[in-house]
Amino acid sequence: MKKVSYAWIVRGCALACLALAQGAAAGLEPENVPDLMTTFKGEKVTTVEQWEKVRAPELRAEFMREEYGRRPVERPKEFSFAPAEPDAEMMDGKAIRKRVRVSYAGKYGKGEFTFTAFIPKQQKPAPAFVLICNRPPDANIDPTREKKSEFWPAEEIVARGYAAIAFWNGDIAPDRSSGNRDGVFACFEAPDKGRAPDAWGTLSAWAWGASRVLDWIETEPLLDAKHVAVVGHSRGGKTALVAGVCDKRFAMACSNDSGCSGAKLNHIDLPKSEHLHQIVRTFPYWFCANYIRHVNAEKEWRVDQHAFVALMAPRLVCIASASEDAWAGQEGEYWSGRLASPAWELYGKKGLVSEGFPPPEQPLQEGCISYHVRSGKHNLTSYDWNRYMDFADRHGWRD
Ligand code: GTR
């Protein structure tokens, strides 16, 4: 009698565990995701030509009109760079530091920002990583290197043969609700007019800043402008994708813990993760006004974020999550990479090569999309940076 009841308990437990596991697995599979390879008119996309002429342009237009907002300007007519300080030898003579002031003007005003570049001293022009820094600049991107932070491990980046370049997003436009009346916005938009529903939000404006840094990189003989990655964390990770999608000169975009409206897919049930109704309530100014129409209706929208990631094809993308960062929706970040992959396949390449959601510290780097989960909290760390550099190495950036 005793034996029987024990067996039943074991069996009962096993069944309960199986049910739980199945439930969990089922919950983590995306459902009814809009098909990447069917145009809005219902045509199947099977060639690079169709992708480049029809599908990619219509997707890009959709995201810029409905989510991030259109940029009124790319490189302005009135635009110049100047050294903000004389070049300096730093990092025990291993790097040259350049501080560059970017000045620009639009119809309604003038703006400027300064960024820092540490370039490794080497024979060949250096490939580069451009960080869109969304954390306090003094503590995170200190040009004097008195303060050091894992958020931008410039010494490690230089030691691996890459230039470490960073600017502060707040220098382009302030990260606050009135932000899209200040900074770069104030130079290109009439102050007394209402904003169009598709007028750019701050993510779009910060991404514009990354492209202006790239304008300078193209002029700098010590740098290899064909191998430049744009990197960002969280709101900066969303921005890094916008920068890469809007500017094909970026050969790689690294979207670290970018979550909702970044790499996270909406068509997956992750109740602990951020949703549109939350992000639009707290940060409406990051987006264009049209975005509000998709709040609580994201599953009816004809696109999802995997299609945004796909606009990087055939270039390189890195997506990363942190194990304790449920707010960013780790599985959603992973699935965007998976479901974006057919865009790379059109080019005869591989996107995210994976059998399933990986455990922490087991990066997936076989294709043109890298994905990893790092143990720990929402952050950009030396571990993440080194995976991004591994991926660039793997694609021959330092050969
Ligand atoms: C959170 C926001 C996220 C993420 C994050 C960050 O408050 O909900 O979407 O972007 O901020 O940028 O740190």
Say yes or no to pLDDT of 311 above 60: yes
**Is the minimum distance from the CB of 202 to ligand 1 under 6 angstroms?**
no
Task: Select from 68, 133, 234, 282 the residue to mutate for testing ligand 1; criterion: most ligand atoms less than 8 Å from CB.
Answer: 234
Q: Is this prediction's pTM over 0.75?
A: yes
Cis peptide before 30 (omega within 30 of 0): no
**Is the minimum distance from the CB of 235 to ligand 1 under 6 angstroms?**
yes
Average pLDDT of 100-124? 97
Say yes or no to pLDDT of 13 above 90: no
User: Higher pLDDT residue, 203 or 10?
Assistant: 203
Q: Which CATH class is domain 36-394?
A: alpha beta
* Number of Cβ within a 10 Å radius of residue 305: 29
- Where does the pLDDT of residue 7 fall: very low under 50, low under 70, confident under 90, or very high at 90 and above? low
Joined together, the tokens standing for residue 68 give 């991030």
Rounded alpha-carbon distances, angstroms, from residue 381 to 264, 375, 377, 394: 20, 11, 10, 20
State the average pLDDT for the chain: 94
- What's the pLDDT score for residue 8? 54
Kindly give the distance from the C-alpha atom of residue 279 to the centroid of ligand 1, in angstroms, as a whole number: 8
Share of the chain above pLDDT 70, in %: 93
**Is the minimum distance from the CB of 325 to ligand 1 under 6 angstroms?**
no
Q: Which residue, 127, 143, 137, is CA-closest to 86? A: 143
**Is the minimum distance from the CB of 66 to ligand 1 under 6 angstroms?**
no
**Is the minimum distance from the CB of 234 to ligand 1 under 6 angstroms?**
yes
Say yes or no to pLDDT of 20 above 50: no
- Where does the pLDDT of residue 193 fall: very low under 50, low under 70, confident under 90, or very high at 90 and above? confident
Kindly give the distance from the C-alpha atom of residue 234 to the centroid of ligand 1, in angstroms, as a whole number: 6
**Is the minimum distance from the CB of 381 to ligand 1 under 6 angstroms?**
no
- Where does the pLDDT of residue 18 fall: very low under 50, low under 70, confident under 90, or very high at 90 and above? very low
**Is the minimum distance from the CB of 328 to ligand 1 under 6 angstroms?**
no
- Where does the pLDDT of residue 5 fall: very low under 50, low under 70, confident under 90, or very high at 90 and above? low
Kindly give the distance from the C-alpha atom of residue 333 to the centroid of ligand 1, in angstroms, as a whole number: 14
- Where does the pLDDT of residue 192 fall: very low under 50, low under 70, confident under 90, or very high at 90 and above? confident
Q: In 91-221, which ranges are E strands?
A: 95-106, 109-120, 126-133, 163-168
Kindly give the distance from the C-alpha atom of residue 315 to the centroid of ligand 1, in angstroms, as a whole number: 26
Joined together, the tokens standing for residue 303 give 């696109």
Average pLDDT of 175-204? 92
- What's the pLDDT score for residue 25? 40
Task: Select from 283, 286, 333, 380 the residue to mutate for testing ligand 1; criterion: most ligand atoms less than 8 Å from CB.
Answer: 283
Kindly give the distance from the C-alpha atom of residue 237 to the centroid of ligand 1, in angstroms, as a whole number: 10
| Domain residue ranges of the chain, discontinuous segments joined by + | 1-30, 36-394
Over the stretch 330-384, which tens digit does the pLDDT of each residue have?
999 999 999 999 999 999 999 999 999 999 999 999 999 999 999 999 999 999 9
Joined together, the tokens standing for residue 316 give 């390189």
Nearest protein Cα to ligand 1, atom 12: 235
Average pLDDT of 58-69? 98
φ, ψ (nearest 5 deg) of residue 202: -65, -30
Average pLDDT of 252-269? 98
Kindly give the distance from the C-alpha atom of residue 182 to the centroid of ligand 1, in angstroms, as a whole number: 21
**Is the minimum distance from the CB of 274 to ligand 1 under 6 angstroms?**
yes
- Where does the pLDDT of residue 180 fall: very low under 50, low under 70, confident under 90, or very high at 90 and above? confident
Residue 233 CA: which ligand 1 atom is closest? 12
The position carrying tokens 């790689």 is 252
Nearest protein Cα to ligand 1, atom 10: 235
Task: Select from 131, 177, 202, 235 the residue to mutate for testing ligand 1; criterion: most ligand atoms less than 8 Å from CB.
Answer: 235
Kindly give the distance from the C-alpha atom of residue 211 to the centroid of ligand 1, in angstroms, as a whole number: 22
Average pLDDT of 231-253? 99
- Where does the pLDDT of residue 208 fall: very low under 50, low under 70, confident under 90, or very high at 90 and above? very high
* Number of Cβ within a 10 Å radius of residue 141: 22
Say yes or no to pLDDT of 3 above 60: no
**Is the minimum distance from the CB of 279 to ligand 1 under 6 angstroms?**
yes
- What's the pLDDT score for residue 23? 36
Average pLDDT of 283-298? 97
